[in-house]
């Protein structure tokens, strides 16, 4: 079936700076050999970008002046995104960056840290955006409410991770996980998402373990099947939010082509093909999808599938949706467990700086520039980054 929102493949926008960050190792080798250089120059470039986090070609060590000049003459750059804003939660564990891309497009990206055992490094998960805005229109999601601007290119996705990697290195830490759960629908920007995964997991590029990556989708079945066939070993999360089609379509107006049954079948195929069990995400909204009856219905739908459900008490956006009380959340969790489905309530991070699931929107990029209305520190890009918290 054709996905109505599958973006055309190829460059998503016409004019872009040519970034070395887009190139896979084989392509980097092709480039240096075309420029009359020995193949090992490719590794020098890749080490400079992914080991040294160079933001300009001049920062890459050891390159001959002739190669620098040729790269510049061909219009190549290293970095592709400028930091335009920076905010941090009060506990210092969630950081949101606003990045300005070379055509002026703004995107948000979030770092969530989970303290490890004393003396060990924290888990540091970067939540990347794959599109500026989103065309799916989920009624409870701030990104959906801002509409669709454009697809991001792979180098723009990778840049988000590198910005945090650089920030973490300054305090002796590193990125441990990447989740494709920021702005946009990753599988509606399929080719660039897959290229970004390859760049992030390649041994000669960013080198992250494939299992440390999770892609979250609103449920584009064709994309899920394609992803299963890529042999990438990444994790998959499907945003379900309702056990039946009528309710799901109220929450996700573009969900029509794929029924809940289609998604369950796709999750089963994904597991059979990859050996990785799918996670279902379910944003709990008071009085809408959070009753024990709906939990029991969800239990029947997911029974015997061996999937895990992440329950996310809905985060505030401009919409009229209310987060259920703790009691209601626990009652839903109990009812779902009683129906034989594994589930956990996701601990949300960064709601006070609008960095949690579904809160990213850059029409309000401005939120970075206004005085903060909620607790949490915000600073324009010109201010120094916040000092690391004690003990990290
Ligand atoms: N487009 C993809 C990935 C980005 S959204 C998707 O929809 O899966 C990442 C997750 O945040 C999804 O599970 C989404 O349903 C959830 N989400 C969106 N808005 C939310 C909100 N206001 N509160 C809680 N979760 C939300
Ligand atoms: Fe898009 Fe995901 Fe938000 Fe829905 S929840 S509007 S698919 S980003």
Residues 2, 205: Cα–Cα separation, whole Å: 33
pLDDT digits (tens, 9 = 90+) for 345-356: 987 777 777 877
Distance 219 CA to ligand 1 centre (A): 12
pLDDT of residue 329: 97
* Start-end of CATH 3.20.20.70 domains in the chain: 81-382
Q: Give SS3 for 318.
A: coil
Per DSSP (E only), the strands in 62-130 are 76-77, 81-88, 94-101, 106-114, 123-127
Which residues, at least 6 apart from 208, have a Cβ–Cβ distance to it below 8 Å? 175, 177, 178, 200, 201
Q: What is the mean pLDDT of each run of 10 residues along the chain (392 residues)?
A: 42 70 98 96 97 94 94 94 94 95 95 86 94 96 94 98 96 96 98 98 97 97 98 96 98 94 97 96 97 98 94 88 96 97 86 80 47 35 30 26
pLDDT of residue 361: 79
pLDDT of residue 183: 97
pLDDT of residue 382: 31
Q: Which ligand is nearest to the CA of 314?
A: 1
Ligand 2 atom at minimal distance to the Cα of residue 252: 4
* Start-end of CATH 1.10.150.530 domains in the chain: 18-77
How many helices (H) does the chain have, and how many strands (E)?
11, 15
pLDDT of residue 117: 78
Please confirm, yes or no, whether 108 is among the known catalytic residues: yes
Q: Catalytic: which of 108, 173, 281, 348? A: 108
Range 81-382 classified under CATH 3.20.20.70: yes
Q: Which CATH class is domain 18-77?
A: mainly alpha
Please identify which residue in the block is written with the tokens 């460059």: 11
109 in ligand 1 pocket by Cβ < 6 Å? no
Which residues, at least 6 apart from 345, have a Cβ–Cβ distance to it below 8 Å? 311, 312, 313, 329, 330, 333
Q: In terms of C-beta density within 10 A (0-12 exposed, 13-18 middle, 19 or more buried), how is residue 61 classed?
A: exposed
User: Is the pTM of the predicted complex or chain greater than 0.85?
Assistant: yes
pLDDT digits (tens, 9 = 90+) for 279-331: 999 999 999 999 999 999 999 999 989 999 999 999 988 788 999 999 999 99
Please identify which residue in the block is written with the tokens 């010109």: 382
**How far lies 120's CA from each of 114, 117, 176, 223, 348, in Å?**
11, 5, 13, 37, 23
Q: In terms of C-beta density within 10 A (0-12 exposed, 13-18 middle, 19 or more buried), how is residue 209 classed?
A: exposed
Residue identifier of the C-alpha nearest atom 4 of ligand 2: 138
Per DSSP (E only), the strands in 167-277 are 177-180, 213-217, 235-239
Ligand 2 atom at minimal distance to the Cα of residue 218: 7
Q: Catalytic: which of 127, 141, 343, 357? A: 357
β-strands 123-127, 76-77: how paired?
unpaired
Question: What is residue 243's DSSP assignment?
Answer: S
Q: Give SS3 for 316.
A: coil
pLDDT of residue 388: 28
pLDDT of residue 299: 98
Distance 296 CA to ligand 1 centre (A): 22
């Amino acid at each position: 079936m054709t996905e109505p929102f599958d973006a055309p493949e190829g460059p998503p926008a016409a004019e872009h700076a040519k970034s070395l960050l887009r190139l896979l190792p084989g392509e980097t080798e092709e480039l240096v050999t075309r420029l009359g250089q020995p193949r090992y120059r490719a590794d020098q470039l890749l080490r400079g970008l992914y080991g040294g986090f160079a933001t300009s070609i001049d920062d890459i060590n050891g390159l001959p002046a002739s190669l620098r000049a040729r790269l510049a003459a061909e219009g190549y750059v290293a970095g592709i995104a400028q930091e335009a804003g920076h905010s941090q939660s009060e506990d210092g564990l969630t950081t949101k960056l606003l990045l300005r891309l070379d055509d002026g497009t703004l995107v948000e990206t979030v770092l969530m840290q989970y303290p490890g055992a004393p003396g060990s490094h924290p888990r540091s998960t970067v939540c990347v955006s794959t599109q500026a805005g989103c065309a799916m229109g989920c009624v409870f999601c701030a990104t959906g409410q801002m509409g669709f601007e454009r697809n991001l290119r792979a180098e723009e996705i990778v840049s988000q991770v590198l910005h945090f990697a650089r920030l973490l290195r300054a305090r002796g830490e590193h990125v441990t996980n990447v989740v494709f759960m920021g702005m946009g629908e990753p599988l509606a920007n399929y080719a660039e998402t897959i290229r970004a995964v390859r760049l992030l997991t390649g041994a000669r590029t960013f080198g992250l373990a494939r299992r440390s990556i999770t892609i979250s989708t609103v449920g584009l079945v064709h994309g899920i099947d394609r992803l299963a066939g890529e042999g990438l070993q990444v994790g998959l999360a499907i945003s379900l939010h309702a056990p039946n089609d009528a309710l799901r379509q109220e929450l996700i107006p573009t969900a029509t082509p794929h029924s809940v049954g289609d998604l369950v079948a796709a999750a089963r195929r994904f597991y059979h093909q990859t050996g990785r069990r799918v996670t279902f995400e379910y944003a709990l909204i008071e009085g809408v999808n959070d009753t024990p009856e709906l939990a029991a219905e969800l239990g029947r739908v997911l029974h015997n599938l061996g999937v895990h459900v992440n329950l996310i008490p809905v985060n505030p956006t401009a919409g009229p949706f209310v987060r259920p009380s703790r009691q209601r959340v626990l009652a839903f969790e109990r009812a779902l467990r009683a129906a034989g489905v594994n589930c956990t309530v996701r601990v949300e991070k960064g709601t006070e700086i609008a960095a949690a699931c579904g809160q990213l929107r850059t029409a309000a990029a401005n939120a970075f520039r206004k005085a903060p209305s909620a607790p949490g520190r915000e600073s324009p890009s010109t201010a120094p980054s916040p000092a690391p918290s004690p003990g990290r």
